Structure 1
Amino acid sequence: MLILPIDHVIIPVADLAATGAAFEAAGFVVTPEARHSAAMGTANRCIMFDRTYIELMGVVEETSANLPWRRAIKHGSGMGGLAFSTSNIQVTANDFKARCIRTEALRHFSRQTNEGELRFSVIRIDPSETPGFQCLVCEHHTRELLWRPELLRHPNSVTSIEAIFLPSVEGLGRFGQQEGVAVMQGNSGLRLRGSRSASYDLTSSCDITIEVIAP
């Protein structure tokens, strides 16, 4: 089995501003909207944790690259994608080929922020490998610009992702998971770790629920 750590979860949304505001109201620090490259045609806002993060994804211009996200938005929000992490995207691409895991071509993307240009490389796993769910592998080339200390201090005390609940987990067993982060079948949602227990119903903005558990 190919073992890859979880990098982030992707929630495709029709209204990026409204969804970001809903997360802020729940006590999360949410990054300002940032646009990806013209080829990607998307924008995002992120909620950063110790090793992982939540990416709220919106489409700003239709392109071939964002077709999977447009389809996900059309069929409703919720947990639309899961990204695995790699420190060497080319090695991972070769591993996939050797294991006959179907993927799209390697792509290189960027997005501009106030702190500088974020750069990353992505391999999308063919949807047939994980039916009903978009998976990809991401290598961050500028991690220091994304995992910044001020983005990790959430007023609601959350520090990490404990578990990810997905409508379907078919095919995910081939890729493994990051230690301490469970991936389970269920209604779209997240179980997060923090110093104070809480629950947040965000179904009106992005069709997910969040449970925060304390030690």
Structure 2
Amino acid sequence: MDAAELQKPPPGELFLDHVSHFVADLDTAAGLLEQLGFKVSPVSIQEVAGSRVGANRCVMLEQGYIEILRPTLQPDPGLRLACFGTPDAEAEHRRLADHGFEPQPIVELQRKLDSRTVRFKVVLPGPGKMPEGRVQYVQHLTPEHIWRSEYLSHSNGVTQLRALFVVADEPPQVAARWGRFTGLLPQPDGDMAALEPQRGHVRIGTAEALGKLLGDVPPAPALAGYALGCRHPEEFAARCSRAGLAVENATVGISVALPPQLGGIWLLRGESV
């Protein structure tokens, strides 16, 4: 099965699909990622019903992807979006409504990439229902147009989006809300709470707890960072250090603090660790 087909969850399953950094300048952000060995897709304009709503460039991975997004409105730069992949946007919309998330109407987005039209459906909760960021669902309709071999050839050995880290003042209560949002049962994980989709995972903790793992994290509520699966995490960490990024050994990987134009923290891990 090719990479594109692997991005579509089977019925009844849920994937951590992508994360997004809101940026003021796509090319500046892409230049940093390219310096670190990523292949970044060309600029693509997002449209809803023919109206422009933003522009993005993406780092496509064998599992999931990283997006850099310039919204039409002036962005608040940083790690601002986390998205779960679903095989059925309409079903997620109904479930979110049943659980009090007051979802907005399903958004049918499209964007041109090269000569191809990428199409997908997005489900967003009502304003303020997920205060940690823009937390949403996506159903990919044309994954073969974006998960292409020419966009997967990263020289740094990064292959997977493995985890999302969420800052909360009251992790049990926030994890319960995220559990209702995802349809997953939160479980304790040391001094954090855990949600386990079929691909990727979510860890919710206080700034103090996450700080022990990642370093300096933003105050709650926020998306603190995410884990990347790497073929050679030590080599990629050394590349990040040479580029001037702050790199620290963590308890279960290597943390990399991203510059303000991107925001957030990476936790580098092996592919099967």
* TM superposition score normalised by structure 1: 0.84
Alpha-carbon shift at residue 100 of structure 1 (Å): 2.7
Query: Would you say 1:191 and 2:227 are equivalent positions?
Result: yes
Q: 1:180 to 1:113 in 2, by over 3 A?
A: closer
Rounded Cα–Cα distance in structure 1 between residues aligned with 2:132 and 2:269: 29
Structural mapping, 1:79-118, within 5 Å: 79-118=79-118
Larger radius of gyration: 2
- Aligned position for 1:173: 179
Alpha-carbon shift at residue 121 of structure 1 (Å): 1.1
Rounded Cα–Cα distance in structure 2 between residues aligned with 1:16 and 1:166: 25
Q: Is there any run of 5+ residues in structure 2 with no aligned partner, and where?
A: 1-11, 185-195, 211-216, 218-223, 246-257
In percent, how many aligned pairs have the same letter? 24
Q: 1:180 to 1:110 in 2, by over 3 A?
A: closer
Rounded Cα–Cα distance in structure 2 between residues aligned with 1:166 and 1:113: 31
Partner-residue secondary structure (3-state), 1:101? coil
Query: Would you say 1:4 and 2:14 are equivalent positions?
Result: yes
Equivalences, count: 202
- Aligned position for 1:58: 70
* TM superposition score normalised by structure 2: 0.67
- Aligned position for 1:143: 143
Rounded Cα–Cα distance in structure 1 between residues aligned with 2:132 and 2:229: 27
Partner-residue secondary structure (3-state), 1:80? strand
- CA displacement, residues 2-27 of structure 1 (integer Å, 9 cap, x when unaligned): 97322111111111111111111111
Bigger RCO of structures 1 and 2 (CA < 8 A, at least 6 apart)? 1
Query: Conserved in 2, the CA contact under 8 Å of 1:40 and 1:109?
Result: no
Q: Is there any run of 5+ residues in structure 1 with no aligned partner, and where?
A: 63-69
Alpha-carbon shift at residue 29 of structure 1 (Å): 1.0
Rounded Cα–Cα distance in structure 2 between residues aligned with 1:132 and 1:210: 18
Query: Conserved in 1, the CA contact under 8 Å of 2:13 and 2:198?
Result: no
Q: 1:21 to 1:29 in 2, by over 3 A?
A: same
Cα root mean square deviation, aligned: 2.2
Rounded Cα–Cα distance in structure 2 between residues aligned with 1:165 and 1:144: 28
Query: Conserved in 2, the CA contact under 8 Å of 1:127 and 1:134?
Result: no
